[in-house]
Amino acid sequence: MKTIMNPILSKAGKGLAKIVLFCSVLAPVSLPAANATSQSRLDIGDNFGGGKVAYIFKQGDHGYVAGQTHGLIAAKGDLSYNDTWKNAMKACREYRAGGFSDWRLPKKDELPRLYSNRFEIGGFKEHHYYWSGTESDLNDVWDLSFVTGKRNLAYKLDHEYARPVRTF
């Protein structure tokens, strides 16, 4: 019986060792350092995660986790200068600041957060409209006036500005 159990235990031990090794190698990769809040405190406008902290989630916000700091990062500058929505979407998807590939146009509910923190984030055009990634129908998409802070519907072939964002 001893000769039968040793090979079984040996295979089980090797399998467990492989799983532990595999997990220990993957763990640091699954949460990049720039996504983890290694700083004890982040403020709006801080350089972080390839851009600037644009908003920090509060209780009640989608993405809020008690005891953790998560939020929205905005690129340090506009990507698309007076371009169509389709081109702005493409430019944001291709943006790679900080080595991250999850940049996108802000959702319609995120644009007011960028507007309210525009001075801390910096670089916004005060007399222009900014695209969101939220469509209303086949031809229209939500945007936001950086003059009034009001959300509007715009035709996708209009020319507006784009500021990529990502969450952390």
Q: Is the pLDDT reported for residue 9 higher than 90?
A: no
What is the pLDDT averaged over residues 143-159?
Answer: 95
Question: What's the one-letter identity of residue 138?
Answer: L
Q: Which tokens is 90 given?
A: 């493409």
* pTM, entire model: 0.73
Residues 152 and 116 both lie in one domain: yes
Q: Both 4 and 75 in a single domain?
A: no
> Cα separations (Å) of 116 from 42, 148, 149?
17, 11, 8
Domain count, the chain: 2
Pairing of strands 71-74, 165-167: antiparallel
For residues 126 and 153, state if they share a domain. Answer: yes
The answer on 14 and 53 residing in a single domain is: no
Would residue 123 count as lying in a domain? Answer: yes
d(CA 106, CA 124): 14
Give residue-wise pLDDT tens across range 68-109.
999 999 999 998 677 999 999 999 999 999 999 999 999 999
Question: Is 111 within the bounds of a domain?
Answer: yes
Cβ atoms 127, 146 nearer than 8 A = yes
Can you read off the two tokens belonging to residue 5? 């159990």
Q: What are 131-139's contacts with CB under 8 Å, separation 24+? A: 131/80, 131/85, 131/88, 131/89, 131/105, 131/160, 131/161, 131/162, 132/105, 132/106, 132/107, 132/108, 133/89, 133/92, 133/104, 133/105, 133/106, 133/107, 134/107, 134/108, 134/109
Query: Residue 80's pLDDT is what?
Result: 66
Q: 150 and 91, same structural domain?
A: yes
17 and 53 both lie in a single domain: no
163 part of a folded domain: yes
Expressed as residue numbers, the domain containing 122 is 47-167
Under DSSP, is residue 30 helix (H, G, I), strand (E, B) or coil? helix
CATH for 127? 3.10.100.10
Domain assignment present for residue 40? The answer is no
| Pair (156, 121) in one structural domain | yes
Give the least confident one: 34-43, 109-118, 132-141: 34-43
Residue with tokens 């235990």: 9
Given the structure tokens 């295979």, which residue do they identify?
Answer: 11
Same domain, 59 and 106: yes
